[in-house]
Amino acid sequence: MRSESGYILLDTYDVLHQRVVSHHFRFDGTRQARLDRTPHRYIWPAELDLMARLAGFDLETRHADWTGAPFTAESRSHVSVSPMPLAPAHPAEPSTEPGGSPARRVSGRAVVLAA
């Protein structure tokens, strides 16, 4: 729970379904409250790795946050980075894959944040 003048944040968790709802209470000068809710689904790193692998991604690095802090068992969030998967090459390009299947690495990275 987070609280500051005129604002209260309260999260409720459904561990079985891996869902969390953030409840945002904002109070104006008349003490009237406005409630906003934001639903989220969280996943464990192993689940993210499996989904990424099924989509053709390989994990390159994982950090605890955007600053690059090491990911440990105590980390409360993670940033996972994977190179873009191989894409078919233009037919005129020489083969780069064993067995003659033309492929090339597309430049770029896929970054997924799961907090």
Instruction: Per residue of the chain (115 residues), give pLDDT as tens.
Output: 665 678 899 999 998 898 999 999 998 878 788 999 999 988 888 888 898 888 888 888 999 998 999 999 999 888 888 887 766 555 555 545 444 444 444 445 555 555 5
CB 78 within 8 A of CB 63: yes
Distance CA 85, CA 58 (A): 8
| HEC profile of 46-115 | HHHHHHHHHCCCCCCEEECCCCCCECCCCCCCEEEEEECCEEECCCCCCCCCHHHCCEEECCCEEEEEEC
Report the DSSP beta bridge partners of residue 40: 20
Q: What pLDDT, on the 0 to 100 scale, is given for residue 90?
A: 54
Q: What pLDDT, on the 0 to 100 scale, is given for residue 109?
A: 57
- Residue 57: how many CB atoms within 10 A of its CB? 20
Structure tokens at 11: 């999260």
Distance CA 106, CA 102 (A): 13
pTM of the model: 0.52
